[in-house]
Amino acid sequence: MKKFDHIKAASYEEASRIIKEKGGAAEPIAGGTDLLGTYRDRLLSTYPEAVVSLQSIPDTAYIEDGGDEIIVGAGTKLKDIAASDLVKEGCNALSEAAHSVASPLIRSTATIGGNICQDVRCWYYRYPNSIGGRLECKRKGGDTCYAICGENRYHSIFGGMCHGASSCQHACPAGTDIPEYMAKIREGDWDGAAQVFFRYNPMPMMTSRICPHPCTDSCNQNVYGESVNIPAVERTLGDYILEHQEKFYTAPSVSTGKRCAVIGAGPGGLTAAFYLRRAGHEVTVYDAHEKAGGVLRYGIPHYRLPKSIVDDFCNALESGMGISFVMNTKVGQDITVEDIKSKNDLVYFGTGAWSQPVLGLEGEKLTEFGLDFLSEVNTYLQKAIGENVLVCGGGNVAMDVALTAKRLGAKTVKLVCLEQRNEMPASDDEVEMAVEEGIQLYNGWGLGKVLADAKGKVGGLEAKRCLSVFDENGRFSPIYDEKDVMTLSSDFIILATGQRVDISFLGEKLTSQLKTARGLIDADLESGKTKTDGYYAGGDAVTGPDLAIRAIQAGRIAAYSMNRDLGVSEDAAHEAEKYTHFDVAGIENTKQSKLYEKPASERSLAEEDRASLDQDAAKGEAERCLHCACYAVNASDITPVLVMADAKIITTERTLTAKELFTAQLTVQDALHQGELVKELRIPKQHGENHYIKRRVRDAIDFAIVAIAGNLKVSGGVIEDANIVLGGVAPVPYEMQEISQFLKGKKISAELAEEAGEIAMKDAAPMGKNEYKVFMCRDALFNFIMDAAR
């Protein structure tokens, strides 16, 4: 066991103060039967430097009659609670629960305060580090619950509970709650899935087609086979939203009377406009292009993102939501930022990165800028090019340029880039498609100089060997072998080596206030606020060229910040489903559903290469989602009784109901503040037949497989009132409110007890190896009801 300081506290207040002062470096210990085992077996990745003993605090063990309630000190031993006549008479279920805990030796040591705050008994969580390495399960901050696909006979039959974001949500630049919208799709609730998605991103029909989706790399299905095809499911959802746009892109019912301007009609600007308009503001979007969409329209080829989709989305914002667009307007020339601000309360800059960086390459003026090339082709679907095209760059833009040139009719297309094949920033599928269509890759070569022919036109490129791209700190710092050169012949060279941000549109005054050393807009990434009141910014203009999904995230963050500053509260707090579920059969499928992709011979500039999954196929893919959460069950025998009895828990800071402390969060520690300690319990005296029934493998030591804490008030064989809570079947005590209501006013009979069991288990979702718990619950509930008649 790792060494730690042992501090004896003289009072709860002192213990609380010490823990708060030490931050996460100190923990309280009550009886010690649970915590010391955790330390000994090194179950956690971090350990406290100090343990603050609550045993040294005087007068913490007592059981008192409080009139209509029983008052129990948190330091009271379980054996004393089990033996107390006051407890037996006032809340017999509590006495029975205390008596059921472990063994007489443990009950003589363990306190009620320690019992209700104990940690979970899941085998994976408790796997000793000494045996073969600690298992970093979801509850410990890891990526998944091993019981989902492993041994789960003792786990929850009513679903799991989230403990932090899932690994795929962490990986998503927009933070999209992927498991939640997947769950809605599994239920066939496409509208619900859309509403979940809209909390993060208003344009899934586009991001599904263009985002590199790092979420798939973090999907835990990769452990067993292929990841869930998240972009494919998102794509079908996006198509559904666009097909029913009148339901999803609507004008706000209430106007705030505030006006906001967005400069830039790209993904970030349109996102900001969406969330600002949804809050009730009047929103006007300015852009220099003829049509809205920014890089979505002008920088992404039709075969990846059809412009009809961009049209439909922008029309939905304009016609459906009432967002105004002022196009063909160059801010800084046709209208100043100050003029725009004078007409609006707040302004957002989402202008992107459209300028060509100057590389200082000899002959650079003979080349074409990749973004200009794509913009022209996307506008007219034609362009005069040479026969032998050379593309410089290794990212997705370079792949788009190369494929576009090939589909325009170039005889040969070569691509030269600094990176080796496995280092290329372009996504693997884009590189594979380029190779499939005959693009010749020259990896590990840098740009030397552009060669001109006798007529002064492009003749080719002299390239030099690139030995390494990044330094030891991961910074871009290419090293070349200047003596190792080669010549690549070409009559049309396109530079796709990056874009540059131009903020000259701000004007001299604002530029002096907002410009950073890198020539970007200085804005807080957490709020989008600039140093000048009334102005916000995000996306490429703030970070430099980046992914569209990050611009979307920045637009949403800034819009929410703007809404708050305009006195509009956030969207009503979303109440997520308390329990998570997965499809037992679906997760066994290790192969993902692929999008149909046209063979190379049938691909063109104007038509989309891939086809979306239909809704049934997308639903099937969503059923492969593990819905990673914690599926362990609550360990305490006492907490279900306290929830059933509607007990009050007195802490060093406040009074909580048992329901608030034990069922709202996955762990008691999540519900309590740092340093907040349980001091006392107040249990209302129960009127009626109240008992605690515990089913386990052995009558001593073992934790509950299934437990019932219940109270039935019966008169003349008729149930007048009922309150039933289950233990051992869910991550927290599971309230059976529907059954409690069902039983009221009914005469006890075997038929009634059987029907109650069926109703109680209708929402059960066994994990594969624990279906027996369903039958055990029905049996225990049947006996509990029938015993009340006797």
Q: What is the pLDDT of residue 75?
A: 96
Alpha helices in 580-648 (DSSP H): 615-622, 638-644
- Chain center to CA of 396: 25
d(CA 322, CA 254) in angstroms, rounded, equals 13
Give pLDDT tens digits for 382-392: 999 999 999 99
**DSSP characters for 159-212?**
-BB--S--HHHHHSTT---HHHHHHHHHTT-HHHHHHHHHTT-S-HHHHHHH--
Alpha carbon separation from 275 to 247, 280, 323, 441 (Å, rounded): 16, 9, 11, 42
d(CA 211, CA 209) in angstroms, rounded, equals 6
Looking at residue 637, its amino acid is: D
Burial class, 78, CB count within 10 angstroms (exposed 0-12 / middle 13-18 / buried 19+): buried
The answer to whether 511 touches 472, Cβ cutoff 8 Å, is no
Angle, CA 561 vertex, CA 525 and CA 199 arms, to 5°: 90
Q: How many CB atoms lie within 10 A of CB 133?
A: 9
In 248-384, at which residue ranges do the beta strands (DSSP E only) sit?
259-263, 282-286, 324-326, 346-349, 368-369
Give pLDDT tens digits for 491-547: 999 999 999 999 999 999 999 999 999 999 999 999 999 999 999 999 999 999 999
d(CA 264, CA 178) in angstroms, rounded, equals 28
Q: What is the pLDDT of residue 378?
A: 95
Q: How many CB atoms lie within 10 A of CB 141?
A: 12
> What does pTM read for this prediction?
0.92
d(CA 566, CA 362) in angstroms, rounded, equals 52
Looking at residue 61, its amino acid is: A
Give pLDDT tens digits for 405-447: 999 999 999 999 999 999 999 999 999 999 999 999 999 999 9
**Inter-axis angle of helices 396-408 and 370-380, to 10 degrees?**
50
Short-list 57, 46, 45, CA closest to 18: 57
Looking at residue 481, its amino acid is: D
Tokens of 426: 């372009």
Q: Is residue 572 predicted with pLDDT exceeding 60?
A: no
d(CA 612, CA 325) in angstroms, rounded, equals 30
Give pLDDT tens digits for 238-287: 999 999 999 999 999 999 999 999 999 999 999 999 999 999 999 999 99
Q: What is the pLDDT of residue 264?
A: 98
Helix (H) or strand (E) holding 116: helix 112-116
Q: What is the pLDDT of residue 33?
A: 60
Short-list 349, 355, 371, 176, CA closest to 269: 349
Give pLDDT tens digits for 733-781: 999 999 999 999 999 999 999 999 999 999 999 999 999 999 999 999 9
| Per-residue pLDDT band at 574 (split at 50, 70, 90) | low
Q: Is residue 482 predicted with pLDDT exceeding 80?
A: yes
pLDDT top residue among 546 and 136:
546
* Least reliable range by pLDDT among 46-55, 164-173, 459-468: 46-55
Identify the three-state secondary structure at position 382. Answer: coil
Q: Is residue 570 predicted with pLDDT exceeding 70?
A: no
**Average confidence (pLDDT) over 563-585:** 84
Tokens of 427: 């996504």
Short-list 540, 518, 520, CA closest to 530: 520
The answer to whether 446 touches 478, Cβ cutoff 8 Å, is yes
Q: How many CB atoms lie within 10 A of CB 474?
A: 7
| Per-residue pLDDT band at 130 (split at 50, 70, 90) | low
Q: What is the pLDDT of residue 136?
A: 87
d(CA 23, CA 675) in angstroms, rounded, equals 8
The answer to whether 443 touches 422, Cβ cutoff 8 Å, is no
The pair phi, psi for residue 7, each rounded to 5°, is: -110, 125
Task: Work out the percent of the chain whose per-residue pLDDT is above 70.
Answer: 97
Looking at residue 725, its amino acid is: V
Tokens of 379: 């506008």
Give pLDDT tens digits for 652-706: 999 999 999 999 999 999 999 999 999 999 999 999 999 999 999 988 778 999 9
Q: Is residue 338 predicted with pLDDT exceeding 70?
A: yes
**Inter-axis angle of helices 307-315 and 230-243, to 10 degrees?**
50
The answer to whether 241 touches 316, Cβ cutoff 8 Å, is no
| Per-residue pLDDT band at 135 (split at 50, 70, 90) | confident
Q: What is the pLDDT of residue 701?
A: 77
Looking at residue 273, its amino acid is: A
Q: What is the pLDDT of residue 140?
A: 87
**Average confidence (pLDDT) over 349-373:** 96
